[in-house]
């Protein structure tokens, strides 16, 4: 993606990362953070964002796009079912804390608005 810029972020090079930004990200990721952790992450992520901002200033117009550099191809296995490694439904559910009608029951992770 040579020459493209991401306009979805409200941050610019002059906008430093704040603990409010980290708090918002933590809430979206459902990660509980105390104030000390938020301050530490603000500094650490801020360093990363600064570095990425610096990289964005590099001239890449004549650089060929690539997704990998090893030259290897088809390094993944074929998508085949290995019946020797399969669980029955009973086996899969045997250690579950809660089940209902043959399904796992888990706590809701998305909040209703």
Q: What is the pLDDT of residue 97?
A: 94
Q: What is the pLDDT of residue 14?
A: 54
Domains and CATH numbers, the chain: 15-60 (1.10.20)
Which tens digit of pLDDT belongs to each residue from 16-49?
A: 889 999 999 999 999 999 999 999 999 999 999 9
Which tens digit of pLDDT belongs to each residue from 6-23?
A: 434 444 445 788 999 999
Tokens of 108: 């809701």
The pTM score is: 0.46
**Burial of 33 by CB count in 10 Å (0-12 exposed, 13-18 middle, 19+ buried)?**
middle
């Amino acid at each position: 993606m040579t020459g493209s810029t991401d306009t979805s972020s409200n941050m610019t090079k002059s906008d430093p990362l704040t603990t409010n930004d980290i708090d918002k990200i933590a809430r979206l990721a459902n990660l509980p953070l105390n104030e000390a952790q938020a301050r530490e992450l603000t500094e650490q992520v801020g360093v990363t964002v600064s570095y990425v901002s610096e990289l964005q200033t590099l001239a890449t117009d004549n650089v060929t796009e690539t997704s990998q550099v090893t030259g290897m191809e088809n390094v993944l296995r074929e998508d085949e079912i290995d019946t020797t490694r399969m669980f029955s439904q009973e086996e899969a559910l045997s250690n579950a804390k809660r089940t209902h009608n043959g399904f796992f029951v888990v706590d809701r992770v998305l909040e209703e608005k």
